[in-house]
Amino acid sequence: MNQYKLPSQEKKPEYVRKNFDGIAKAYDRFNDWNSFFLHRIWKDWVVKEAKRSVPHAKSALDLCCGTGDITYRLSLDPDLETVVGLDFSEQMLSYAFPKVEGQPVKLIVGDAMNLKKFPEGSFDIVTMGFGLRNVSDLRLCLQEIKRVLKKEGVFVNLDVGRVRPRFLKFFADFYFFKIVPLFGYLLYGKQNEMFDYLPHSSKTYPDQETLQTILIEVGFKEVWFRNFVFGNAVAHVAKKGN
């Protein structure tokens, strides 16, 4: 694996914001290349499952929305009267605006760990795509998500997972840590450490079962997950309890 060192928890928020600004222009193509376009199917699933879980949902918040892939998908649902996309990176949001132009969507710069601008019980749905592993305090972020959800609202989180079965782990790690950064270097035109950060950030992120446990401990209920491509990516679904 590359000799890359993750930023400290204290420096992580500014590191993530600054460096995502720097790769925003190549981010969509990077996701297409490194997932062989499968991320589009996974994001479709996130939105479909969120609406299935809360059939009469009227409001949705897409956290760490980046260039707006999930936000856009949410905006296409005619039943959703309020759709908000929030991200730390202004440059990422600049690439989201064209996708949702003409749709009833509000895009705002903000911190997923500090959602005080939204009152308790504001949203039926909260989604997050490949962003939870970038926050410096995972439990605090989940507590904020639970707070802004309405009772019986749903949180659907898409992120990296641990490969199952284990004998595939070597091949998955080689691809994730060696090949994926090369895609980023090619798209960006030079080496950029953010393309090393993205796979390495998975090393400190909980596996599927651990995140499921954390969600329950924070106060969510009916928590389950679905693996994609042997667990390379995983979606967790969690409802707000009482």
Query: Is the CB of residue 132 less than 8 Å from the CB of residue 157?
Result: yes
Phi, psi of 223 (to 5 degrees): -85, 130
Query: What's the confidence (pLDDT) of residue 1?
Result: 43
Q: What is the pLDDT along the chain (242 residues), one digit of tens a residue?
A: 446 888 888 888 899 899 899 899 999 999 999 999 999 999 999 999 999 999 999 999 999 999 999 999 999 999 999 999 999 999 999 999 999 999 999 999 999 999 999 999 999 999 999 999 999 999 999 999 999 999 999 999 999 999 988 889 889 999 999 999 889 888 887 777 888 898 899 989 999 999 999 999 999 999 999 999 999 999 999 999 86
Q: How far is Cα 193 from Cα 185, in angstroms, rounded to an integer?
A: 9
N-terminal to C-terminal alpha carbon distance within the chain: 44
Q: How far is Cα 150 from Cα 147, in angstroms, rounded to an integer?
A: 8
**Which of helix, strand or coil describes residue 150?**
strand
Q: How far is Cα 75 from Cα 220, in angstroms, rounded to an integer?
A: 25
Query: What's the confidence (pLDDT) of residue 34?
Result: 93
CA 28, 31, 37, 38 dihedral sign is negative
Phi, psi of 36 (to 5 degrees): 55, 40
DSSP letter (8 states) at residue 111? B
